[in-house]
Chains A and B, each alone.
Chain A
Amino acid sequence: MSFQPGRMGVAEGMALVFVTTFTSIFLTSWPLAIDSATTATWMLSLINGLIGIGVLYSQAYVLQNTSGDLYAACQELVGVVVTRLIAVYYIGIYLLDACLLLRQFAESTLLTALPELSFEIAVGWYVFLIVLILFIGIEAIARASYLFLPMAVLIVFIVVALLTPQYQFMYLAPWNGPGFPNVVMAGIHSVGLNMGILIPFILARSFQNSRTIKNSVLYGFGLSSFIKSLTLAAYIAAFGTGAAREKVFPFYEMARLVYINRYIQRIESLIIFLWAMMGILNVAIEIYIGLYLLGRLFNLPTLRPLIIPTALILAELAMFPGEIGSVIAFHHKVHWSFYNIGIYIIPGILFAAALLRARRRQSC
């Protein structure tokens, strides 16, 4: 298939996973999560990380015992019809997520950077850029993401460090939030925020070998979980659970709050770079994954002609909801429910099937 990118290594895979799982820190998902885990919200990201590692090893097992990528493994293990259903589900999820993210990033542009811009142009600008970089290819996108990864980590660390005078660590108490079992439940529910961990498995054919895939998910998701957790702890320590629940863009608010002295302040405009680029990369990657699965599903010879129509449809859909509040609430709802099917149930079925097959083979 001509849309197969070249060989990607750990660095690229890590960047793909990091970008797609990290951008939630710029958006409202986490202030919403504070509702369920209050002062212990920073633990959610760590719990997500642990569950993610479980998913990683189960899927690595599936890939080791089958040939090729997740799609091929599905076909091998559960048959063509179920595979198609699963593919449709994942296409839906990735494109839906791309659409919702597009809307939220366009809104955040309006809210934070260019308040007088018209909304259509903000969406149009993002779609234009996304189409442009999608035409260059997933390999280049992954490499660019890898270039951004240290930059993003550095900027996050700088902001967290510069906020030191504003922290009131007592706002993180009581340490177990609404009670430890509740926190763990919330952690289990919120894994849907990290659909990105499946990307290397879907694109498995483009990676060098199964160890590359395993390592890229491990490092990429580990890093993003850790930094998200750190940022969330800093966010709650700086704002308290009360004000923290209100904010639309947690990281932007953190950057705004930096005040060291007369000279080191007013840095939030420079953060625009970070979230705008991460947002564009994230949406582009998710659209690519959606299209890739579409290509596999219909056995298409190439993806390129699909890029522009898909992007346009997504843009139109993104402009559909009347107001941003409902988009945020809807995104939160699907994160905590619908997405979890893709994290728990489908990989679980595949793992069970692979395990069963291996056992049957052994007994033979």
Chain B
Amino acid sequence: MLSRFIAAAVLAALCLSLVGCYGSKESDSVAYVQIIGVDVAAGGKRKITTQIAVPLSTSKGGGPPGTEEKAGTSKRWVFNTMLVSAPAEEANLLRSTMSRSPRESHVSVVIFSEEIARQGLGPDATQYIRNRDYRETLFMLVVTGTAEDYMKHNNPALESSISKYYELFFEKASETGTYLPSTLHEFYTRLKTPGASPYAAYTGINPMTGIANPVDHKQPEQKADAYLPGGIPRTGTENPAEFSGLVVFRADKMVGVLNSYETRAVAILQNKLPLGYIAVVDPLKPEKDMINLAIRCEYTKITADLDGGMPIFNAEVKIDGDIYGISSDINYEAPGNREILEQQIADFLKGQITAMLKHTQELGTDPVGFGLYLRPKFANTNELNEANLTELYQAADININVIVKIRRSGLIWRTVPLLKE
């Protein structure tokens, strides 16, 4: 019995040793690709830039003595830009140009240039879905200019890892609403299932000259400006990359750009705005005074009706406001005045939302996902598949109702006028 047991154990061990360690990689023989940028190049080729983490620099003091100084001075990442005609070629060439085996399992962002987005992202974006190394949760960006340029100029000082930079950026998107996190998953799902149109976050490099380049269109109630990436007037030593606005697609082709305020309107309608800052013209002293507020979207209710093939959407938006600055000395906290202010904000937001809807209806894209609310109106999926939700959206009648409630007024509960001399 014992000898048989031992013989079986030895045989099993021998068989197992056949396995060897196939596919195992020591963690110091792997290079982790973190960001991938895709540009168009002449002749239908692609210029693919990979940003690869340098592990030593991220583990300060981890290694044996003597490595610390090296860690401080060396680069945090390296770039590798190659002109390829197919992704497989890129994978090949990457292995020809690097000592370590590249691993894409830690890719967190894919960046496309605007040019490639206008040609249609379908073939470039969808191939990542099939590969187990890429997660669908990776972020998808569209940049002004080329991705290569953007990646090389994007050099955050605060973060040791470039993935962390992007992850933190999208984590705090909910604090402003002027850009939205966009994942490959959402893009892909919207491409494959009728209901909403895909979109991607819009980003770019600021020239850091301090010259303002705002969007022209301005509402009467509006005090501040809306921007697109690269247009924010700023100088300083912070990273020149900035996020503002949204790239909208019809099917997989980029058809236009929403500015930062339109993007916030999308966020409000998607009920994804826990915090945002607005400035409106003082309704009682419109000449130069203004009111600053923090707003929160409490709820957004969208109902749809398919009335004889003509869709009608009703959106009810409930906004909570928190005053945090009044330049005039009018007591807006008092009842009576408060309603005036609330109406002003409601008009302002309704104007923004309506403008955004008009813009997207013209472009033929539905970033909010009104079409999703139409889905239950079809009797079954066959009818749904026969209908064209984008065209229905374009033809739709959309009623917006914005209700604003000022909940708090900061640390001051009534404004006392300034002494006149």
Contact = CB atoms under 8 A, between A and B. Distances in A.
B375 A174 contact: yes
Interface stretch (A92-100, A254-262, A321-329): A254-262
A121 B23 contact: no
A128 B16 CA distance: 10
B193 A241 contact: yes
A256 to B, nearest CB: 5
A356 interface: no
A164 interface: no
Given A176-B380, A242-B193, A256-B137, A170 B373 contact: yes
A101 to B, nearest CB: 21
B189 A179 contact: no
B167 A178 contact: no
A157 interface: no
A187 interface: no
A262 B377 CA distance: 38
Given A166-B185, A242-B193, A259-B137, A121 B376 contact: no
A168 interface: yes
Contacts of B191: 242
A117 interface: yes
Contact of A173 (B136, B171, B375, B382): B375
**Which range contains the number of A residues in contact with the other chain?**
35 or more
B12 A128 contact: yes
A57 interface: no
A124 B382 contact: no
Interface string A265-303: 110000000000000000000000000000000000000
Contacts of B18: 121
Nearest to A252: B132
Contact of A118 (B15, B22, B372, B384): B22
A240 B380 contact: no
B381 A115 contact: no
B380 A177 contact: yes
Interface in B22-71: 22-23
B419 interface: no
A174 B380 contact: yes
A262 B22 contact: no
Interface in A95-141: 111-112, 114-118, 121, 124-125, 128
A240 B185 CA distance: 11
Interface in B361-382: 369, 372-373, 375-382
Given A112-B132, A121-B22, A178 B15 contact: no
B137 A177 contact: no
Contacts of B189: 168, 238-240, 242-243
Contact-residue bracket for chain B: 35 or more
A116 B133 CA distance: 13
A338 interface: no
Nearest to B138: A259
A170 B19 contact: no
B414 interface: no
Contacts of B299: none
B381 A177 contact: yes
Interface in A157-189: 166, 168, 170-171, 173-179, 182
A39 interface: yes
Contacts of A239: 189, 193
B137 to A, nearest CB: 4
Contacts of B190: 240
A174 B381 contact: yes
B350 interface: no
A257 B136 CA distance: 6
A225 interface: no
A171 B195 contact: yes
Interface string A45-71: 000000000000000000000000000
B375 to A, nearest CB: 4
A166 B171 CA distance: 15
Contacts of B16: 125, 128
A175 B194 CA distance: 15
Given A125-B19, A174-B375, A241-B193, 20 more contacts: A111-B132, A117-B19, A121-B18, A170-B195, A170-B369, A170-B373, A170-B376, A174-B377, A174-B384, A176-B380, A177-B381, A240-B192, A242-B192, A242-B194, A243-B189, A246-B192, A256-B137, A257-B185, A259-B135, A262-B164
- The 9 tightest CB contacts between A and B, nearest first, are A240-B193, A116-B23, A242-B192, A170-B372, A173-B376, A242-B193, A173-B375, A259-B137, A38-B381
15 contacts: A117-B23, A118-B22, A125-B16, A128-B12, A170-B376, A171-B193, A174-B375, A174-B381, A174-B384, A179-B379, A239-B189, A242-B192, A256-B136, A257-B135, A257-B136
